[in-house]
């Protein structure tokens, strides 16, 4: 299995989602499907995933001297765990 998960997204907003709705956010590969993300989370963190929601976040154009640089798009996955499951990675954020 290729590395689907790039990094966890830790912020105050995501920490609130983790406490209230048991939902965690990750940056994932742009070509990853929901099934691949679910399998990678379950394998790497030994938890049971209930649902996976994904969104493509658009990058911003940037200026480099006189030209515009191309934006870097990325994919965000919101992973909801089943009741009773927790990820220790987001504790204390």
Q: Rounded to a whole number, what is the largest CA-CA distance in the chain? A: 54
CATH of domain 5-86: 3.30.70.330
Find the range with the poorest average confidence among 15-19, 54-58, 85-89.
Answer: 85-89
pLDDT for the residue numbered 19? 87
pLDDT band at 88 (very low <50, low <70, confident <90, very high): confident
Torsion angle of C-alpha atoms 47, 25, 91, 12, degrees rounded to 10: -160
Q: Whole-prediction pTM value?
A: 0.85
- Sheet containing strand 23-28, edge to edge, reads 5-8, 23-28, 74-81, 49-57
Q: pLDDT by residue (tens digit) across 29-70?
A: 999 999 999 999 999 999 999 999 999 999 888 888 888 888
Domain boundaries along the sequence of the chain: 5-86
């Amino acid at each position: 299995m290729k590395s689907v998960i790039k990094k966890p997204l830790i912020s105050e907003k995501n920490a609130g989602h983790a406490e209230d709705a048991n939902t965690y956010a990750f940056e994932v590969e742009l070509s990853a499907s929901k099934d691949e993300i679910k399998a990678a989370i379950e394998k790497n963190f030994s938890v049971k995933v209930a649902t996976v929601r994904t969104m493509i976040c658009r990058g911003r154009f940037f200026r480099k001297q006189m030209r515009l640089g191309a934006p870097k798009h990325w994919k965000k996955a919101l992973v909801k765990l089943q009741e009773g499951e927790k990820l220790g990675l987001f504790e204390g954020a």
